[in-house]
Amino acid sequence: MRRHLPSTQALAAEWLPEEGRREALRWIHQAMTLPHALPGGTTAVLHACRAFLRELDFLTPFAGRQDFLHGSMDVLFQAGGKAYVLDWKTNRLPGYGPETLEQTVQEHYWLQVQIYATTACRFLGIRDEPSYEEAFGGVAYVFLRGLPEGGLWTLRPSWAQLRAWEAELEALPADRMIPPNAGGEPRDR
């Protein structure tokens, strides 16, 4: 096992069970040091990104309502002059190729993708297509167990698609915004 910084070792000892700790540290190392292909042809090595916000809590207007939606994005970072949302996943999947990841995201995380992309653009002050094209790179889901050979799902929605998502979220009943694992009711897709 590679030597880790004392602060990393202390965090791992505090937060990770001894069983599986080495594997989790390997995932973290790979996730932060491997080059990740992003939408639009940009490649990023996460530890080298200057603009890198972790565990970004947000409180954003609930689309079209007086209520607010609270959540947390794992990472918002900048590469190649554009901002990207990144979410870590530890799912055990039968494989980590593009088809399996697309199906997994569509079945389990699609609403999350929509919320994160629209919220990130709102956070970044993106209000029109020119600023969108200039500033937003897309969304990346890193399935840690699939690294280094696979495990990366990315998407850069068009401006029109992002606007359509905003309309979908506005029309979505409030109880559907809360996923079942957070106490919400099961939802149909």
User: Helical H runs in 46-109?
Assistant: 98-104
Q: Is 87 marked active-site?
A: yes
Beta bridge partners of 85: 76, 139
Question: Which is the catalytic residue, given 57, 67, 74, 87?
Answer: 87
Cα atoms in the 13 Å half-sphere on the side-chain side of 63: 20
In the chain, the amino acid numbered 85 is: V
86 sits in which H/E element = strand 82-89
d(CA 7, CA 2): 14
d(CA 119, CA 22): 34
Q: Catalytic amino acids?
A: 87
